[in-house]
Structures are given as C-alpha cells and as structure tokens.
C-alpha cells in the first residue's frame, strides 16, 4: 500500500512539473525595458526600391531661456525669434534603392523659419544651421560613406538621438494607447544631471538643446513611448528633476513612417536654397593639401 501511494505521488509530481513547463512555454517572454529602447532607437529594417522614399515627420519641443521668451518673438524680430523659439518641425525624406539621397529639414513649427537643412545626393552633402552665416558643402570620394537610406530608421537627421546608455535603470512603467491610436509601452529611466559645456550660461539657441542653466538639477528622467506592433518610438521626453518638481526639457512626437512614390516629390527636392552662401569645404581642403605638397617639394 505504501509503495502504491508513493508511486501515485510520484506520478502527480511529474504531472504538475510537466504542466508548469508547458505553461512556461505558452506564456510570452518577459518584456525587457532596455531592449525596447534599443530597438526603438535602431528603427525598422526593410528594403524599398529607388522609385519610393520614406517620409518621417516629428514635432520637437526644447526648453528655451525663460528670460528671453519674455521678449517679443515674431518674424519681424528674427534675432529674438531664433533664441526664443522652443517648438520645431523635423521632416526627413530618404530615397530607397541604395541611392544615398536624403533631405532633412528642421524649421520653426509656427513660422516655418528655416533652422537647419541637410541634403545628401550621393557623395555630396550640404549642411546648414542657423548659428552659421553659411552652409558647408562636403564631398566624399568613398561611396561606402554615403550610407544606406533604403533602410530607414528613427535616427532622424537634425533631431534628438537616443544616447547609448548602460542597461541599469530602465523601467517598464506600463501600457497606454498612444497618439497613433495603438497600444504602446512606456519606459522610463532616471539619471544624474547631464554634463554640459554651457553649465554657467546655457545654450543660446533652443535648436541646439534645452536650456537648463537656471535650474537646480538633481537629475533627469527620460521617457519613451514605444509602439507595440512596430517597436518604433511614438514619443520621447526628457524631464529635469528639481527640488520644486519636474520640468519638461524636451519632447519629440513622431508621426508614423510613410512610404511615398518618388514622383510625388518635386524635381528640385535635393536642390539647396539660392539665398544661402555655400563654402565648399572639400575644395578648401584639397587646395590646402596641394599647396602643402608644392611647398614641401620646393623646400627639397
């Protein structure tokens, strides 16, 4: 009788263990907050042909100096407007088929004043920012440096990039219905005050980063809203942690990625503006190199 009971108990334990193992394989794997953020920063990876372009649009807020925002900021006072504006629009078009053709525009959200512009056409890159009085033209002789715009990501030109942070501190806060109308995860991470080169005066132009010089920073908190289906960022936020509470430093709200026919763009979509002076950095570098080589030969 004792042996029979022992045998039945053994069978019961085995059945329970088997059932637990089966349930563990049926349950979804645990969600890792750090992995979600890394996947979102990498973006999606798919191929599109040369007859199509990807289009990404983002609304960006960056905290400006409150003292400067008290002044009148309008299109007729452009020097003041540039340092008082705190909301921007970023748009990026990237052609597929490994054509290395990209247009990235960063402008004032309300007035459409151009803040920065990046144009890539093969090995030639045009770069402009409002802090300079001219644009730079760079030409590379290495075609591999042109990149692969047929594999779009959310590493958008001219806007915030997700820093490569250590894994510690990432926390899955919960699930929400995002601005895309779809389920999304919310991940957050707290960190110490970020180092800055302008700790005393702060950045002058909000297009370069949020203003924090007037804050007693105890730390910062980053928040990401990540679409569950695509694993793409819906929004990113950075908050300042101060003795009096949390203050929003920056927010990026990203629209869903679109694929458009190339024919929908004007033929001039990669042409730089005529009213921006251009300095050909490549030509200057080549001229300097030739002069140096000639001077060295003459010295010998």
Q: What is the pLDDT of residue 150?
A: 39
Residue 295 counted as domain residue: no
CA dihedral sign, ordered 236, 156, 148, 151: positive
pTM for the full model? 0.74
Count up the domains in the chain and report the number: 1
Per-residue pLDDT tens digits of the chain, which is 300 residues long: 544 455 444 445 445 444 444 444 444 456 788 888 888 877 777 788 999 999 999 999 999 888 776 655 555 555 566 677 789 999 999 999 888 899 999 999 988 989 999 999 999 999 999 888 889 998 876 544 444 443 334 444 333 444 445 566 899 999 999 999 999 999 999 887 766 545 556 677 777 889 898 899 999 999 999 999 999 999 999 999 999 999 999 999 999 999 999 999 999 999 999 999 999 887 655 545 433 443 444 444
Residue 286 counted as domain residue: no
Which H or E run includes 224?
Answer: strand 219-227
Residue 46 counted as domain residue: yes
Residues spanned by the domain of 141:
35-281
Q: Give the Cα separation of 65 and 212 in Å (integer).
A: 8
Q: How far is CA 263 from CA 120, 149, 240, in A?
A: 18, 17, 44
Q: Give the Cα separation of 217 and 194 in Å (integer).
A: 9
Q: What is the pLDDT of residue 111?
A: 87
Q: What is the pLDDT of residue 93?
A: 95
Q: What is the pLDDT of residue 74?
A: 55
Residue 134 counted as domain residue: yes
Closest residue by Cα to residue 222 from 231, 209, 203, 235: 235
Q: What is the pLDDT of residue 76?
A: 56
Q: What is the pLDDT of residue 250?
A: 93
Residue 191 counted as domain residue: yes
The alpha carbon of residue 146 and the mean position of all alpha carbons in its chain are separated, in whole angstroms, by 19
Q: Give the Cα separation of 222 and 225 in Å (integer).
A: 10
Number of residues assigned to the chain:
300
DSSP state of 208: G
């Amino acid at each position: 009788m004792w042996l029979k009971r022992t045998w039945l108990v053994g069978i019961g334990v085995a059945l329970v263990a088997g059932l637990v193992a089966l349930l563990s394989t049926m349950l979804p794997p645990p969600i890792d907050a750090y992995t979600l953020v890394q996947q979102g920063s990498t973006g999606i990876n798919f191929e599109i042909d040369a007859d199509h372009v990807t289009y990404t649009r983002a609304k960006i807020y960056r905290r400006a100096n409150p003292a400067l925002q008290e002044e009148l900021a309008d299109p007729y006072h452009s020097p003041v407007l540039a340092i008082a504006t705190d909301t921007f629009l970023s748009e990026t078009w990237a052609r597929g088929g490994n054509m290395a053709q990209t247009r990235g525009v960063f402008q004032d959200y309300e007035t459409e004043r151009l803040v920065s512009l990046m144009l890539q056409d093969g090995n030639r890159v045009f770069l402009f920012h409002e802090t300079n009085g001219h644009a730079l033209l760079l030409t590379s002789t290495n075609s591999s440096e042109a990149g692969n715009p047929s594999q779009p990501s959310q590493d958008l030109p001219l806007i915030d990039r997700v820093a490569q942070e250590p894994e510690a501190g990432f926390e899955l806060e919960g699930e929400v219905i995002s601005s895309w109308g779809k389920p999304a995860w919310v991940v957050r991470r707290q960190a110490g005050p970020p180092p800055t080169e302008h700790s005393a005066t702060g950045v002058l132009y909000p297009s370069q980063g949020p203003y924090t010089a007037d804050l007693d920073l105890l730390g910062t908190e980053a928040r990401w809203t990540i679409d569950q289906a695509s694993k793409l960022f819906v929004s990113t936020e950075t908050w300042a942690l101060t003795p009096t509470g949390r203050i929003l430093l920056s927010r990026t709200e990203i629209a869903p990625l679109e694929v458009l026919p190339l024919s929908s763009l004007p033929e001039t979509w990669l042409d730089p503006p005529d009213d921006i002076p251009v300095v050909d950095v490549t030509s200057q570098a080549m001229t300097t190199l030739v002069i140096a080589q000639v001077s060295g030969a003459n010295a010998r």
